[in-house]
Amino acid sequence: MWLLGSAVGASFTIIILHWISWFPFDWLPISLLTVAFFFIVCTFKGYKLFPIIRAFTAEHEASEHLFYASLADLHKQAKALLFSKRIKNLSQIQTAIHSVGFQQRQAESIYFDKSNELVVNEPKSAAAGNNASTYYPMKKAWERFFNEVFRLKEGTYDVPLHRDLGTTEIYVWDIPSIAFSRWEENLTRIEAYLKKVVFSIYRDFDGIGTVGVEIAKQPLPKEIIFQHMIDLHAATQASESVIVGVNCKGTVAWNYRKIPHGLVAGTTGAGKSTALYSIILQLQRQAHLPVFIDLKGGVSFGFVEDVGYPVATTKEAALQLVKGAVQEVERREKLLKEWGVSPDITVYNEMTGSNLPEIFIVFDEFAQFTDKWQGLDEGMACIKTIAAKGRSNGVHLLIATQRPSQESLGSTDFRSNISFRCIGRMDSQASSQIALGNSAAFERLPSTDYSGLFIVRGTDAPMDSLLKVPYVNDIDFRRLFLGYRNPHEGYAFGSGIHLNKSDQQEVGRNYNDIF
C-alpha cells in the first residue's frame, strides 16, 4: 500500500512539473521519484530499512524465539509485535513473548504429575462460548476485589493460573503494576471478598513478578479435642518439637531447638490457656523440665508441685528463679566450651552420658511480672540474658500474656528473640502490632466466635498461618499433668545436682481428693 501510494504521488508530481515547466513526462523520473517517496515514508514511520529488507535481515536469535512461540494465538501476536515500530530490539521481543505466553498457558489444559497433587483446572462447561477461555473459580469475587481494592477493571489484567492442591487451591496472578507488599497488606480483604481463609501468599511463585495466593477450600473445624488429636504416649518419641494446632493442611509443629523461645497471647476467651496447656503437656511427656511462674497466687499452676515441678507464686520467688536460670545458662556455656561441642546440648549429653534437661520457663501472665516493683530491672535483665543465650544451652522462655504492650514485652530487641508466636484475638490494633508486628490479630480474626483460632509464626507452617488449637479444659489438664512425675525432680539451677532419682515414672493416685 505504501509503494502504491508512493507511485501515485510520484506520478502526480511529474504531471504538475510537466504542466508548469515542460518537465519530460517519462517512466524513469516517475520510478526514481517513487523510490524517493517510499524511502521518506519508511523513515518517517520509524523504519530504518524497507519492510522487505527488514523481513529478510531479521536477527536469527529473534526469529528463533518467535519460532518456539509458534502456538497459533501467540505466534500471531508476536509477529505483529515484530513488525511494530515499538519493538526495536530482542529484549523487548522476549518480554512481549513472556507476557503473551502467560496468557496462552492459561488457555491450555496443563496437568501436573499426580504424585505432586498439582493440577490445573480446565475451563468449566458452564462457561462455554466466548467466556470459556476467561473462566476461573470465584471469578466474580476476584473481580470485585480487584475493582474495589486495587482499582483494576476487568480486562486490564491477565486470567490467573488456577492450581488444585487437594485441600487448598492456588491462584497465580501476573500483574506487574501491583507490588507484592500490597498483596500482603490486603490479605484480610482477600479473605473478606472470597469468604475463605488464605493459607499463604507467595512471591515469584511461577516466574518473576507473579504472585501465588493459596486458598483453603474448607473452613477450620469448630473444635478439636486434645485427647482425640494428640497421643501423649507418641509425644514421648518427639525430641525437639510439639504440635501447636491444625491448619487446612494438617498439624502445625513448633521446633523449639530451632526457634527456642515463644509467646502465647490472646484476649479473654481466645483460648490462650488451652493453647499453653497443650504445649506444656507435650513438653512434660518428652521428659523436659518446665518450671512455672504463676503470679496469680498459684491458681493456674500451683498444683504442679505435687509431682515435683518448681513453681514461683510471688514476684520475689520469680526473681530468684530467673536468676537461677541465668546461672544455669552460664554453667552450661562453660561445660559446652570445655567439651568443644558448643552450641549443642544434645551432643554434649551423648558424648558425656549426662542428662542435662531442656528447661522451659513458663510465665503465666507476664504483664504482672513487668509491673513496677523493686526487682523489675534485675528480673528483666535476667530474662533478656536467657532470651539471648538460652538457645544453645537448652534454656527456653514460654511467655503467656493477655494484653501484649510495650511495657510488658519490653524492647524490640527482646521481642525479636521471641520468634515463636501463637497469637489469638487481640482487642486493639496496638496489641496486635506488639504481638505480631501487624494488625492481623485484631482485623483478621473474627470479633465473635474466635475461641481457639490463632495466628502463628515460627512454625513449620507459612508465616502468620491461621490454625485451630486443640481444646483441653482445666480439669483434664490437671489430671493429665499429675499423671506424670518430674523425671528431673530436685534439679538445682546453677549446679545441675539431682537431689532425687531421675527415672520417669507414672503416678498412681486418687484424683477425687484433688478436685
Q: Is the pLDDT of residue 512 over 80?
A: no
Which DSSP state fits 381? Answer: H
How much of the chain exceeds pLDDT 70, in percent?
Answer: 73
Q: Tell me the residue ranges of DSSP E strands in 138-247.
A: 161-164, 168-173, 198-203, 211-216, 241-247
The span from the CA of 423 to the CA of 404, in Å, is: 10
Neighbours of 327 (CB within 10 A): 15
Rounded average pLDDT over 333-361? 83
pLDDT score for 353: 83
Looking at per-residue pLDDT, the higher value among 210 and 89 belongs to 210
How many angstroms separate the CA atoms of 259 and 264, rounded? 14
Q: Is residue 47 over pLDDT 80?
A: no
d(CA 311, CA 329): 19
270 is in an annotated binding site: yes
Nine-digit cell string for 178: 501491583
- Kindly provide the b/e burial profile for residues 424-453, where b requires at least 16 CB atoms within 10 angstroms of the residue's own CB: bbbbeeebbbbbbebbbbbebbeeeebbbb
The predicted structure's pLDDT at residue 56: 44
- pLDDT confidence of residue 13: 76
Nearest to 178, CA basis, from 200, 219, 214, 145: 145
Calpha distance 190→343 (Å, rounded): 43
Query: What is the mean predicted confidence (pLDDT) over 326-347?
Result: 84
User: Higher-confidence residue: 186 or 39?
Assistant: 186
- Tens of pLDDT, residue by residue over 223-245, are 899 988 888 887 777 778 999 99
Supply the Cα-derived Rg of the chain in whole angstroms: 35
User: In the structure grid, which three cell numbers stand for residue 331, read together?
Assistant: 554453667
User: With helix as H, strand as E and coil as C, how does 259-327 read?
Assistant: CCCEEEECCCCCCHHHHHHHHHHHHHHCCCEEEEEECCCCCCCHHHHHHCCCEECCHHHHHHHHHHHHH
85 is in an annotated binding site: no
Q: Is 101 annotated as ligand-binding? A: no
pLDDT at 84: 58
- C-alpha 80/C-alpha 69 separation (Å) is 13
Does 403 score more than 80 pLDDT?
yes
Per-residue pLDDT at 127 exceeds 50: no
How many residues would you count in the chain?
515
Model confidence pLDDT, tens digit, residues 133-182: 578 889 999 999 999 999 998 888 889 999 999 999 999 999 999 999 99
Cis bond before residue 160 (omega within 30° of 0): no
Residue 413: per-residue pLDDT: 76
CA distance 240 to 246: 18
pLDDT tens-digit map of 252-267: 999 999 999 999 999 9
Closest CA to 395 of 345, 354, 352, 347: 345
For the ranges 56-70, 305-319, 389-403, which has the lowest average pLDDT? 56-70
Query: pLDDT tier at 318 (50, 70, 90 boundaries)?
Result: very high
Which residues have a Cβ under 8 Å from the Cβ of 332 and sit 6 or more positions away?
Answer: 345, 356, 393, 394, 395
> Which H helix or E strand runs over 364?
strand 359-364
Query: What pLDDT score does 66 carry?
Result: 44
Cell of 309: 515441678
> How much is the pLDDT for 79?
57
Q: Is the pLDDT of residue 54 over 80?
A: no
pLDDT value, residue 448: 85
Beta strand ranges found along 408-462 (DSSP E): 420-423, 453-457
Between 31 and 128, the higher pLDDT residue: 31
d(CA 288, CA 356): 9
- The tally of CA atoms less than 13 A away on the side-chain side of residue 84 is 12
Instruction: For residue 271, say whether it is annotated as part of any ligand binding site.
Output: yes
**CB of 412 closer than 8 Å to CB of 376:** no
Prediction pTM value = 0.71
Q: Per the structure block, which three cell numbers stand in for 316?
A: 520475689
- The answer to whether 58 is a known ligand-binding residue is no
For the segment 17-35, what is each residue's pLDDT rounded down to a tens digit? 766 766 676 777 777 777 7
Mean pLDDT rounded to a whole number for the chain: 80
State the average pLDDT over residues 71-84.
57
On whether 267 is known to bind a ligand per the annotation, the reply is yes
Quote the pLDDT of residue 233: 80
Task: Give Cα separations from 396 to 69, 262, 311, 355 (angstroms).
Answer: 57, 8, 16, 17
Span between the terminal Cα atoms of the chain, in Å: 99
Which pLDDT score is estimated for 78? 55
Bridge partners for 457 per DSSP: 421
- Residue 284: what pLDDT? 95
DSSP 453-478: EEEEESSSSPTTEEEEPPB--HHHHH
